[in-house]
Amino acid sequence: MTDQNPSFFSRLALAFAVLGDGKLAAKLQDLQNPHKDVAPVAPPAPAPVMQVATPDAALQLLALLQREARFIDFIQEDVAAYSDADIGGAARLVHSGCAKVLREHFTLAPARDEAEGSRVVLETGFDASANRLTGNVVGSAPFRGTLRHRGWKATDVRLPRTTEGHDARILAAAEVEL
């Protein structure tokens, strides 16, 4: 290869040669793009944007469960010394209070419509946040299995409004009897 650039007329002659000879044009194209047979590498998918969750809604729910069901009191209690009958009686009260909170503040629906025990197929691209694979998970979708639990999703949330300056960390005020 020469160090000098070809003259204008030499380049013009080369252009006509390329126009008249398809094989020569293909060779020239290969020289210009030596990696044409290599598949282009797709850019990596952008990282998911992580949302910052404030604890206020979770604390508000915990406060509602405490107010209606004494949930925190029940969970914080060491139940080892109590009989099963005593624990069962307390659990019934906690259960009914928790159910009341769910009914009043949430509309719930199954995450899947099929009946538990039915056979389901999870196709490629299935919603992994709504479907958890258990058991012997190998390979890739489609996955065929038995629905063990329909799951739950909230279709509506109705938490009470709070005033400015409300400290959501106070789940239940201390009670002082006078």
pTM given for the model: 0.66
Which residue, among 147, 109, 108, has the nearest Cα to 126 in the 3D structure?
147
Residue 62 located in a structural domain: no
pLDDT, residue 40, reads 72
Residue 152 located in a structural domain: yes
Residue 113 located in a structural domain: yes
Q: How many folded domains does the chain comprise?
A: 1
CA-CA distance, 71 to 62, in Å (whole number)? 8
Structure tokens at 41: 């590498």
What φ, ψ does residue 152 adopt, rounded to 5°?
-140, 150
pLDDT, residue 36, reads 65
Taking the chain (178 residues) in runs of 10, the rounded mean pLDDT of each run is 69 72 78 70 84 88 96 95 93 96 97 97 95 94 96 95 92 95
